[in-house]
Amino acid sequence: MLNADQTAQWQREGFVVLPGFKPAEQVAAACRRAAEIISAFQPAADTGTFSTRDRSRVADAALLASAEAVHCFFEEDAFDAQGRLAVPKERSINKIGHALHDLDPFFDGFSHGPALAALAQALGLRQPQVWQSQLIFKQPHIGGEVGWHQDGSFFLTTPQTVTTFWFALEDATLDNGCLWVQPGGQTSPLREQYVCDRTPGQAPRLRMQALDSTPWPSARTAMPLPVPAGSLVVFGGLLPHYSGPNHSPRSRLAYTLHATCASAAYSPLNWLQRSAALPVRGFD
């Protein structure tokens, strides 16, 4: 699945880019399916009318419910003061998640199969468990920056095993917000952990907890990964990465999967937990 150069890059730099991993017709079908999901999604009429505090509680509840659902998340400024969409719905979506790979027949097919199973094996991911799928939008002109972070913060396992599969569904360029990574940064410690406090009788609380004071990399050590549609970028949970804003007139749609290894202990503090109704599966 990986040639010698790609294996060496994975070990040395903590990421690998696989151009043409998905054929053009599958990529086009994924974009069409994303548009269909948005078109069918009805935002709650009162989404924009909560106070800031209530809104964050509603947002937390929506995030937690999306562990076993397909939910559209809007850009922060998508609603006006009356709770009406201020921009067309298809231009106001920030992401769709987080169980597309199990609940949406198209993305189930896109997220499973021999090629991904063999790749996971080649990366050393034994008994993979695919926890999350996301369609991540960077809307033309308004798509914002996502700052430096490590995906291990959101999927803590002991030992660290989470691996990100980032599929470009549209060309990702320097102008429209491609990924940037710190080559070699996969040896740095996990800096923070996104924790869900679940106290019986209380609404769950989400918070970011600092773990290690190692600074984020400087811009000088960041490497951009512009890739054409159909490419797959894979990186481990400790690799610091970010993506810039989209100042261009072209959207930048990506699809991501996050998988851990079943033999590593999955933290009960991770926000994303699965019930027996929707058990976590591998790539087969």
Does 233 bind Fe ion (CB under 5 A)? Our answer is no
Q: Which range in 1-9, 27-35, 143-151, 224-232 contacts Fe ion by CB under 5 A? A: 143-151
How far apart CA 200 and CA 233 sit, in angstroms, is 39
The residue (of 151 and 170) whose beta carbon lies closer to Fe ion is 151
CB of 243 to Fe ion, least distance (A): 8
Does 14 bind Fe ion (CB under 5 A)? Our answer is no
**Contact by Cβ (8 Å): 133, 256:** yes
* Sites for Fe ion among residues 108-137 (CB under 5 A): none
CB of 129 to Fe ion, least distance (A): 18
The residue (of 104 and 151) whose beta carbon lies closer to Fe ion is 151
Does 185 bind Fe ion (CB under 5 A)? Our answer is no
The residue (of 165 and 266) whose beta carbon lies closer to Fe ion is 165
The residue (of 48 and 152) whose beta carbon lies closer to Fe ion is 152
The residue (of 79 and 257) whose beta carbon lies closer to Fe ion is 257
CB of 265 to Fe ion, least distance (A): 22
| 100, 106, 111, 117 alpha-carbon torsion, rounded to 10° | 140
Number of neighbours of residue 113 by Cβ within 10 angstroms = 12
- Cα→Cα distances 278→23, 59, 102, 140, Å: 29, 22, 8, 35
Classify burial at 147, counting beta carbons within 10 Å of its beta carbon; exposed 0-12, middle 13-18, buried 19 or more.
exposed
Residues 145-164: x where in contact with Fe ion by CB under 5 A, - otherwise, as a string: ------x-------------
Number of H helices, E strands in the chain: 6, 15
CB of 154 to Fe ion, least distance (A): 8
- Ramachandran assignment for 86, one of left (phi > 0), alpha (psi -120 to 50 degrees), beta (any other): alpha
The residue (of 75 and 151) whose beta carbon lies closer to Fe ion is 151
Give me the helices (H) in 95-251, please. 100-103, 105-111, 114-122
Residue nearest to Fe ion (CB): 151
Does 238 bind Fe ion (CB under 5 A)? Our answer is no
Q: Which residues bind Fe ion (CB under 5 A)?
A: 151
